[in-house]
Amino acid sequence: MDNTVTGLTTVRHDQVPFLEYPSPNQDDLTRRQYLIYLIPGNPGLVAYYEPFLKTLRQLLDEREKEAGCHYAFHIYGRNLLGFDDGDHEPRFGTTTASGARTEPFTLEDQIRGVCGSVQAVNNDTLGDGRTFDQVILIGHSVGAYIALEAFHRHHQARLETAGASDPLASVNLRSGILLFPTVSHIAQSSSGQKLNLLRTTPLLDRTAHHVAKGFVSLWPVWILDAIVRRVMGFPEHAVAATLRFLTSADGIWQALHMGKDEMRCITEEKWGEELWEIQEADADADAEADAGKGCGNGEAKPGLGRAKFFFYFAEKDHWVADECRDEFIERRKRHGKGRTRVVIDETGILHAFCIHHSESVAEKVKAWVEDIAGL
């Protein structure tokens, strides 16, 4: 992707940190190629998800090695914008020649950034003009909301252009896996109430990021390391990601700015019923492709019966109000044509699963990927 300008800030897309785990069979033209694209939560550092993505890669490698498997799964994840000092210029708070000051990226900026990145990865990864047969989005926390917005905009683009000219419409975006999703009324959650109070208190709204950054700056890195490692009990990968976040020039401001915007934007569910449905033409296309390339057991499973979305909620989540979660689930149950499956965890996995529970969540995601692929 070329560098683009969002507001007064230039996004340096070539400098946005990412993780990529290609399939060993991505050059096999007899296999159906799938892109699995991870959208992080807030703070949006993909480094937090490295053990999760590595485990998922290992599990899918085992699946691809099985006799009769004609599928290949390419894994990719990228930072959200603004969480790395190298991905934008100038720094937030810089006064431009016009007298305006640059600000962190909004939730809308992040949605557009993800849509553009998915297009680029889909179009540029395989080479020789090939694109992925299907794209699966994995969204964590607010990343789940961003994923649903991407699906909504993809559907609208296909309607408006008949799939001919809009780049987003050309992506074969079919399925989503949404982990600990914050997709409605986030401000009613216990943590959301605190952040929303900060947003609606004028003095705190204007100064919170300065206070937070100033407090963190008081401590040398070795003390921050000890707090994150020993007091908070983070493993090595999460320690490194957290220290990178805390010591960056703009990361804390970006996280707070985006978080406050989430409180404002993620309220009543706004998507139409068609979002939750698999269009019959798409299901038929999947079934035909499966019949041509074969599933793991040699038999194609009809695309019409597959889920479009998998939702994985925590039993208790400080970013998701129980009543809002239950109302959301009830609406999905009432939607006769919807292709949504919902799981509520009963094992005590926390919202920030990528800190301590990457491997167990990767096992679940692997099974859902197989279901999506018809394996």
Do the beta carbons of residue 321 and residue 267 sit within 8 Å? no
Least confident of 20-24, 98-102, 356-360: 98-102
Question: For a pLDDT cut of 70, what percent of the chain falls above it?
Answer: 90
Residue 359 one-letter amino acid? E
Query: What average pLDDT does the segment 275-298 reach?
Result: 62
Handedness of CA 122, 118, 36, 299 (dihedral sign): negative
Query: What average pLDDT does the segment 266-282 reach?
Result: 83
Through-space distance between the first and last CA atoms of the chain, rounded to whole angstroms = 33
The reply to whether 328 falls in a domain is yes
Residue 261 one-letter amino acid? D
The whole-angstrom separation of Cα 55 and Cα 41 is 19
The reply to whether 193 falls in a domain is no
Distance of CA 61 to the CA centre of its chain: 22
The reply to whether 245 falls in a domain is no
User: What is the 8-class DSSP label of residue 23?
Assistant: -
From edge to edge, which strands make up the β-sheet containing 4-6? 4-6, 9-11, 88-89
User: What is the 8-class DSSP label of residue 227?
Assistant: I
Do the beta carbons of residue 74 and residue 34 sit within 8 Å? yes
The reply to whether 198 falls in a domain is no
Name residues whose C-beta falls within 8 Å of residue 160's C-beta, 6 or more positions apart in sequence: 166, 169
pTM of the model: 0.94
Question: For a pLDDT cut of 90, what percent of the chain falls above it?
Answer: 78
pLDDT in tens, 210-241: 999 999 999 999 999 999 999 999 999 999 99
* Closest by Cα among 142, 144, 104, 73 to 8: 104
The whole-angstrom separation of Cα 67 and Cα 345 is 33
Query: What average pLDDT does the segment 32-52 reach?
Result: 98
The DSSP line for 61-107 is HHHHHSTT--EEEEEEEEPPTTSSGGGEES-TT-B-TTS-B--PPPH
Residue 13 one-letter amino acid? H
pLDDT bucket at 1, cuts 50 / 70 / 90: low
The reply to whether 196 falls in a domain is no
Please report the pLDDT score of residue 158 as a whole number. 84
- Please give the structure tokens belonging to residue 359: 């491997």
Q: Which residue has the tokens 């695309």?
A: 303
Domain range enclosing 340: 4-187+268-373
Q: Number of folded domains in the chain?
A: 1
Name residues whose C-beta falls within 8 Å of residue 144's C-beta, 6 or more positions apart in sequence: 39, 176, 178, 179, 180, 181, 182, 183, 311
The reply to whether 243 falls in a domain is no
The whole-angstrom separation of Cα 361 and Cα 350 is 11
The reply to whether 154 falls in a domain is yes
CATH value at residue 147: 3.40.50.1820
Please report the pLDDT score of residue 97 as a whole number. 82
The reply to whether 238 falls in a domain is no
Query: What average pLDDT does the segment 328-336 reach?
Result: 89
Least confident of 52-61, 169-178, 330-339, 352-361: 330-339
pLDDT bucket at 159, cuts 50 / 70 / 90: confident
